[in-house]
Amino acid sequence: GAVVSQHPSWVICKSGTSVKIECRSLDFQATTMFWYRQFPKQSLMLMATSNEGSKATYEQGVEKDKFLINHASLTLSTLTVTSAHPEDSSFYICSAREVRQPQHFGDGTRLSIL
Amino acid sequence: DAKTTQPPSMDCAEGRAANLPCNHSTISGNEYVYWYRQIHSQGPQYIIHGLKNNETNEMASLIITEDRKSSTLILPHATLRDTAVYYCIATLYGGGATNKLIFGTGTLLAVQP
């Protein structure tokens, strides 16, 4: 149980394009979803928290207009990296949790911007 | 959330118990201790969590000191597949953003054959 699926697992695109990453909870209803970013040889950094049906809460220093988060249903959240540039290349990981349960993580999306 | 301190790396022989320490001396009374691990190039995997009592599940045991200022994660019979970075995180237990996990640098556990 508690499976979180992330898609795509890797993506390569040109600078200036927008990229959408999906995060789905497959066997539970995720009242809260989280998005993290991880650069090589560094730890995970929390970007934002989203509750179903409401606006995401972004951590300090994370540009909300750059990283658009939508949590439209209890099983799906999306992260869109708008006008991506090489410095946005990173490993993006989502997690999901239902009420009073631990967070469970997806396997991440490796994003490379050329 | 309380800050946690972990050794940067540890070695363990395959088949032996791996004991990973974590210091959380500023933990508050309503903060839980969570353990996750991250195998290279994958998302973190939940292991176990606890408040003050020792906990055990199919993956590991969690021993929390009586004063709650430190804890130890025990993998009873480590295998090569347990090689990973292990994160100890102290956070509130509840709904919404109160359970957000702030990752430190963790402990890289290397299980040796």
- Spatial neighbors of B31 by CB under 8 A, at least 6 apart, are B1, B2, B24, B90, B91, B92, B93
Q: Could you say which residues of chain A have pLDDT below 70?
A: none
- Among A38, A103, A107, A109, pick the best mutation site for testing chain B contact (most B Cβ within 10 A): A103
pLDDT value, residue A54: 84
Question: Is B98 or A52 the better-scoring residue by pLDDT?
Answer: A52
Can you give the pLDDT at residue A51?
87
The distance of A94 to chain B (nearest Cα, Å) reads 8
Structure tokens at B94: 């509840």
Residue-averaged pLDDT of chain A? 94
pLDDT of residue B30: 87
Record: contact B43-A46, CB cut-off 8 A = no
pLDDT at site A65: 95
Q: Residue B46 pLDDT more than 70?
A: yes
Is the model's pLDDT at B89 over the cut of 80? yes
- Pick B49's closest partner by Cβ from A102, A104, A108: A102
Does the pLDDT value for residue B97 go beyond 60?
Answer: no
Phi and psi at B51, nearest 5°, equal: -105, -60
Band (pLDDT 50/70/90 cuts) for residue B98 is: low
Give me the helices (H) in A29-108, please.
none
Cα(B80)–Cα(B82) distance, integer angstroms: 5
Q: Among all chains, which residue has been given the structure tokens 């019979």?
A: B77
- Cβ A93–B95 below 8 Å, yes or no? no
